[in-house]
Structure 1
Amino acid sequence: MSEKITTDKNETRLSLEQHIARALKRKRISQGYKISDVARIAELSQGMISKVENAQVSTSLDTLSRLCNAIDLPISKLFSDFDIGGRGAQHVKSGEGMEVVRTGTEVGHTYHLLSYRQGPIKRYEPFLITMDDASEVFPNFSHAGHEFIYLLEGRLLYRHGKQFYEMGPGDSLAFDAAVPHGPEQLLDVPIKLLSIIHYDNED
């Protein structure tokens, strides 16, 4: 029996999880894939994919990227179709930022992406970072653009290149993100850090 998706023109605005679930399921079905096919290609469990398609879990960007690649759906297209009122504001409630898996991070080091839709060109990425394992060893991060960080809670020693900065609540740091950087030592946990990465896009 073929799968069908029904829509109601008078339905209320979808949450981000519901929007992702519906878009992924529609694309999968249009491509003629079964959940088992996507699971094999994306190297994810069928149970996980089923939960995502039924909006039962908040999906990490790593998992979402695998799913989109498996069904040939550009992840930028997925977010650009999210209804946030045309050119209006995007409101992300507390705790609803999408969890991001970044290479090199360990348990106790979590990123939540606070904004998803910015148009066809990615101009910036705002993250809320939480760290609660004082013994964690951090990798060197290096990426395009400039970064601004603002410490909300806790204390840490942050490195940028060969320089080290001890930071407490209310302290900020702005730097060239192409230079290796990252937390050197967590002095007082838990730590909450706002990080905004601005990309120097040239048309």
Structure 2
Amino acid sequence: MTKLPKVPALPVTETDPIELQIGRRIRALRLERDITLDQLAIEVKLTKGQLSKIENGKVSSPVSTLTRIAAALSVEPGSFFQSAHPAQPRAALVRRAERKSIAGRGSKIGHSYESLAFGLPFQKDFEPYLMRIDEKVIDPAKNSFRHPGHEFLFMLKGKMDYRHGEQIYHLGPGDSLFFDGTIEHGPSAVYGPPIEFLSLISNP
């Protein structure tokens, strides 16, 4: 592999947009590992242009894309959200008005994701999200997901049928579901939207 010159990464501050914070950390990690933009793009199945936009904070990346990039760089996905100041307390408070809306696996079909933990000065074992479904009718075929690790759901509002493999679970407020994320899963029907639930996804 050709040795690249060490190019100092631009500093990351907590006042930067979350997309820019993530992009600069990805670029810093790539340069530390002497990996070219082309090499990483091929590894994570993106075009060079797409990866460049991510590194420059011009796009919001789906969780699945960040997971592939993290694997290629041999880090946990949560490292992209770490604070640049390691001396900070190992805890982070996120006020309701400060939640970060991000792109997730279901964003294209109307699901919304809010990150409940970001900018942390340490790696996380899981990613917590507040998820919302506003559609009155959903297509089960489009609501099919699969990812490494485990996932935990906790229902807050509304009711839904949730499929995991061949099993259907009816969930209402206060119900929870823990499952293997490598098996196909996703909501198959909703009742009384909007549906709101917590989703905790492990970082394997």
Q: Does 1:173 align with 2:174?
A: yes
> CA contact under 8 A between 2:76 and 2:123: conserved in structure 1?
no
Instruction: Provide TM-score, normalisation by structure 2.
Output: 0.65
Q: 1:62 Cα shift?
A: 1.0
Query: Helix, strand or coil for the counterpart of 1:115?
Result: coil
**Residue equivalent to 1:149:** 155
Q: 1:159 Cα shift?
A: 5.3
After TM superposition, the structure 1 stretch with the greater mean CA deviation from structure 2, 53-62 or 131-140, is: 131-140
Q: 1:86 Cα shift?
A: 2.5
RMSD in angstroms over aligned alpha carbons? 4.1
> CA contact under 8 A between 2:90 and 2:122: conserved in structure 1?
no
For the structure 1 residues 173 and 106, does the alpha-carbon distance in structure 2 shift closer, same or farther, using more than 3 Å as the test? farther
For the structure 1 residues 133 and 5, does the alpha-carbon distance in structure 2 shift closer, same or farther, using more than 3 Å as the test? farther
Unaligned runs of 5+ in 1: none
Size of the alignment, in residue pairs?
187
**Residue equivalent to 1:195:** 198
Q: Does 1:134 align with 2:140?
A: no
For the structure 1 residues 122 and 192, does the alpha-carbon distance in structure 2 shift closer, same or farther, using more than 3 Å as the test? same
For the structure 1 residues 158 and 54, does the alpha-carbon distance in structure 2 shift closer, same or farther, using more than 3 Å as the test? same
Instruction: Provide TM-score, normalisation by structure 1.
Output: 0.66
> CA contact under 8 A between 1:156 and 1:187: conserved in structure 2?
yes
For the structure 1 residues 159 and 55, does the alpha-carbon distance in structure 2 shift closer, same or farther, using more than 3 Å as the test? closer
For the structure 1 residues 76 and 162, does the alpha-carbon distance in structure 2 shift closer, same or farther, using more than 3 Å as the test? closer
The amino acid across from 1:37 in the alignment is Q
**Residue equivalent to 1:185:** 189
Q: What is the percent sequence identity of the aligned residues?
A: 15
